């Protein structure tokens, strides 16, 4: 039995050929693209100043851990790396739901953010233990959570008339569709991509999902401000300019509404 820390001991092996570009990095392009994703995702939550600093820092910390563990997994394809990669994503989602899930969507039995925090914690512990039963299906289960996030986005868009918000959501969804299509194609059509010598779609997944999250995070912050800081009016913008082909979306706070 190989060690759970051994190279290529994971249940999952992506389509990219192993050790083709490096003697120490199993999946070179998947690792490099993950580093790029990790770098990109350090920005968006940093603009979330309306939230408590501890909440923002903790959310950024789990993003950081998810990036580190995923890089380790693609470098080694070890069993431990696979579990850390998948569980760190689960923990990141748990933290994001705990702090950013709108109160209006809480179950009726939940009366406060503190109660919802404990519900998320218990659910995460149970999900973590279940993840050890069959790690190969963890990635599919985690990807299914995206459908709930899309549903919540749709619910929020029905209440919003701001064309910028709708445009940003449309770009986010389009990038997610391209990302998940790349992920599925790499997983299920590997023979085809290897036959044409292009087994790199999982690295495209890393790039595209990072771009989708760059649009998702400002949307979450925008909706969060509407709920948590109703006296302020959030406004979506693009840096450095709306006219640039490649931009970084952000949220700006306009002057507080006048109170009666």
Q: Which helix or strand (DSSP H or E) is residue 62 part of?
A: helix 53-76
Q: Binding site annotation covers 43? A: no
Residue 85's nearest CA partner among 153, 154, 14 is 14
Residue 13 assigned ligand-binding role: yes
* Helix boundaries (H) for 137-189: 138-158, 163-188
Supply φ then ψ for residue 93, to 5 degrees.
-65, -40
What does the block give as tokens for 243?
């006219």
Cβ–Cβ < 8 Å for 201, 185? yes
Tokens representing 23 are 């003697």
DSSP code of 109? T
Question: What residues form the annotated binding site for Zn(2+)?
Answer: 74, 202, 206
Question: What residues form the annotated binding site?
Answer: 13-14, 16, 18, 27, 74, 202, 206
Question: What residues form the annotated binding site for Ca(2+)?
Answer: 13-14, 16, 18, 27
């Amino acid at each position: 039995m190989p060690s759970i820390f051994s190279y290529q001991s994971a249940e999952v092996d992506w389509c990219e050929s192993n050790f083709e570009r490096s003697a120490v990095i199993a999946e070179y392009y998947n690792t490099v693209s993950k580093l790029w994703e990790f770098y990109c995702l350090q920005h968006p939550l940093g603009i979330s100043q309306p939230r408590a600093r501890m909440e923002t820092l903790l959310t950024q910390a789990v993003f950081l851990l998810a990036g580190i563990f995923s890089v380790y997994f693609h470098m080694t394809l070890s069993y431990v790396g696979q579990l850390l990669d998948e569980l760190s994503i689960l923990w990141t989602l748990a933290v994001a739901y705990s702090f950013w899930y709108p109160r209006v969507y809480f179950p009726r039995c939940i009366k406060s953010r503190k109660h919802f925090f404990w519900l998320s914690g218990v659910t995460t512990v149970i999900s973590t233990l279940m993840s050890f039963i069959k790690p190969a299906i963890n990635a599919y289960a985690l990807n299914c959570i995206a459908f709930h996030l899309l549903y919540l986005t749709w619910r929020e868009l029905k209440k919003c008339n701001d064309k910028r918000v709708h445009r940003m959501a449309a770009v986010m969804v389009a990038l997610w569709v391209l990302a998940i299509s790349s992920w599925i194609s790499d997983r299920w059509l590997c023979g085809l991509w290897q036959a044409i010598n292009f087994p790199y779609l999982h690295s495209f997944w890393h790039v595209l999902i990072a771009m989708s999250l760059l649009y998702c995070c400002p949307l979450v912050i925008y909706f969060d401000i509407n709920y948590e800081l109703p006296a302020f009016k959030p406004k979506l913008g693009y840096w450095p300019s709306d006219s640039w082909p490649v931009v970084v979306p952000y949220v700006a706070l306009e002057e507080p509404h006048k109170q009666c």
